[in-house]
Amino acid sequence: MIRKQLKIFSGTAAVLTAIFAAVFGFFYTALPCDINVETNSEFAGGGFSPVILRQTSEGLSYYLGGLPIKTADVSEQPRPSVIPCGTPFGIKVRSDGVMVIEVAEKSPADRAGIKPGDVIVSVNGKEVFTNSEIGEAVQLSSAHTEIILRRCGSELSVGLVPERVGNMLRIGAWVRDSAAGIGTLTFLEPDTLVFGGLGHAVSDVTTGDAVPLRTGQITSAEIYDVVKGKEGCAGELCGAILPNSDIGELSGNTAAGVFGRLSAPVEGETVPVAFRQEVKTGAATVLTTVDGGAPREYSIEIERINLLDLNGSKGMVIRITDDELLEKTGGIVRGMSGSPILQNGMLIGAVTHVLVSDPARGYAVFAESMLENCRASLGE
């Protein structure tokens, strides 16, 4: 009997030890190694619940309960200040190369190994940026077509023999050279006119891949209706890109949003930007435009910090709690992406995605992640 109890106890202890090691291993891997703090400020505490950061003799250390996990490298920097916007804007993107969105079965492109998501950058030695340029370049040779394409960040060359359809040579691939849509402007730096918006990349509607940016503009846009979201079906802000209303140039299309410079300043009060570890679960507000009027703040709840995506577009799980917004939209809808999120007087992030199974809930990106991607896209 005693042996059996010891065996059970030993087995239970082994399981608990394995669970404990797995939990600590997860946090050790997921928690960021680098932490930004404000220059010449005293650290006021923070972390990524249930983990907290504490000041130690070695720097800032992560603790789970009373047990240390690891120490982070700390970088002091001036705290950024921006104007939260919450206004709708139109996006027009022209791709760097031409994206393949579909390949016909047993076509020359299919036999050559070309896949949806590939980006064609040259055909028969000629750089291509538009659908028509690909068509013209293919006609240069009926015997052989050499294509340079970009896949997963690398370039490769493929050769094929185009097929004749009527009077034209075809390779059997459908391509797209541009994208357009409506999103929400997140912030503007008043001194530099640098802006950020959308909170995620502009992606091709067919492949889901980010459109590689060559050039692009943002324009004024107007919201005229709302399709209310419901369980299993995402809603949408119905709007229009206003003609001849370019207001800025795009310089970056990244996983954390689109970035560039406006051609003129906008009015609004500046607020400080929170560092990731300063964001708390709990009450916050979202600034957004869901009709033809001005942006308004609505109450939301930060439900969870997503440790596995601190630098991506799903760093937070949020829930709309404002009855008026829920009545108007059903929760988060397409077109709200980029709507700034405020907490304790600071910009902490932006709305990015809706959970189709529960439109009141969705994801958000950290404002700090947006600013880091913004700086990189501007080469700063």
| Helix, strand or coil, per DSSP, at residue 26 | helix
* Residue 3 reports pLDDT greater than 70: no
Q: How confident is the model at residue 21 (pLDDT cuts 50, 70, 90)?
A: confident
Q: Is the peptide bond before 212 cis (omega within 30 degrees of 0)?
A: no
Q: How confident is the model at residue 74 (pLDDT cuts 50, 70, 90)?
A: confident
| Helix, strand or coil, per DSSP, at residue 4 | helix
Span 79-115, pLDDT tens digits = 999 999 999 999 999 999 999 999 999 999 999 999 9
* Residue 303 reports pLDDT greater than 80: yes
Q: How confident is the model at residue 18 (pLDDT cuts 50, 70, 90)?
A: confident
Average pLDDT, integer, range 177-201? 94
Give the residue with greater pLDDT, 15 vs 361.
361
- Find out whether 34 and 23 touch, Cβ atoms under 8 Å: no
* Residue 12 reports pLDDT greater than 90: no
Which of 6-20, 146-160, 187-201 has the weakest average pLDDT? 6-20
The predicted structure's pLDDT at residue 4: 61
- Beta bridge partners, 271, equal 82
Q: Report CA dihedral (66, 72, 75, 78) to the nearest 10 degrees.
A: -40
The CA angle 237-339-152, to the nearest 5 degrees, is 90
Residue % of the chain over a pLDDT of 90: 66
- Find out whether 223 and 254 touch, Cβ atoms under 8 Å: no
Multiple choice CATH, 82-92+178-377, 1.10.1660.10, 2.40.10.120, 1.10.3720.10, 3.30.460.10: 2.40.10.120
The predicted structure's pLDDT at residue 182: 92
> Average per-residue pLDDT in the chain?
91
Span 304-345, pLDDT tens digits = 999 889 888 999 999 999 999 999 999 999 999 999 999 999
- Diameter over CA atoms, the chain: 89
The predicted structure's pLDDT at residue 261: 96
Please state, in angstroms and rounded to a whole number, the distance separating the CA atoms of residues 103 and 353.
Answer: 29
Q: How confident is the model at residue 42 (pLDDT cuts 50, 70, 90)?
A: confident
Average pLDDT, integer, range 194-218? 92
Q: Which two tokens stand for residue 9?
A: 């106890």
Please state, in angstroms and rounded to a whole number, the distance separating the CA atoms of residues 272 and 261.
Answer: 20
* Residue 292 reports pLDDT greater than 70: yes
The predicted structure's pLDDT at residue 291: 86
Which of 44-53, 90-99, 141-150, 205-214 has the weakest average pLDDT? 44-53
Q: Which two tokens stand for residue 347?
A: 């910009």
Active site positions, annotated: 200, 322, 337
The predicted structure's pLDDT at residue 262: 95
* Residue 8 reports pLDDT greater than 70: no
Please state, in angstroms and rounded to a whole number, the distance separating the CA atoms of residues 305 and 291.
Answer: 30
Which of 40-49, 118-127, 224-233, 276-285 has the weakest average pLDDT? 40-49
Q: Rounded to whole angstroms, what are the CA distances from 209 to 8, 99, 161, 179, 197?
A: 51, 9, 27, 12, 18
List strand residue ranges (DSSP E) for 231-357, in order.
235-254, 257-262, 271-272, 282-288, 296-305, 316-320, 333-334, 340-343, 346-355
Residue % of the chain over a pLDDT of 70: 96
Q: Domain segments of the chain: what residues?
A: 2-77, 82-92+178-377, 105-171
CATH numeric code, 105-171: 2.30.42.10
Q: Give the DSSP letter of residue 309.
A: G
Q: How confident is the model at residue 60 (pLDDT cuts 50, 70, 90)?
A: confident
Give the residue with greater pLDDT, 342 vs 240.
342
* Residue 9 reports pLDDT greater than 70: no
Give the residue with greater pLDDT, 133 vs 18.
133
Please state, in angstroms and rounded to a whole number, the distance separating the CA atoms of residues 218 and 317.
Answer: 28
Q: Rounded to whole angstroms, what are the CA distances from 28 to 15, 146, 167, 307, 327?
A: 20, 48, 62, 11, 42
Same CATH topology for 82-92+178-377 and 105-171: the answer is no
The predicted structure's pLDDT at residue 363: 97
DSSP output for 70-116 = EEEEEEEEPPPEEEE---EEEEEEEEEEEEEEEE-TTSHHHHTT--T
The gap between the terminal CA atoms of the chain, to the nearest Å, is 70
Instruction: Report CA torsion sign: 290, 291, 297, 299.
Output: negative
Give the residue with greater pLDDT, 49 vs 175.
175
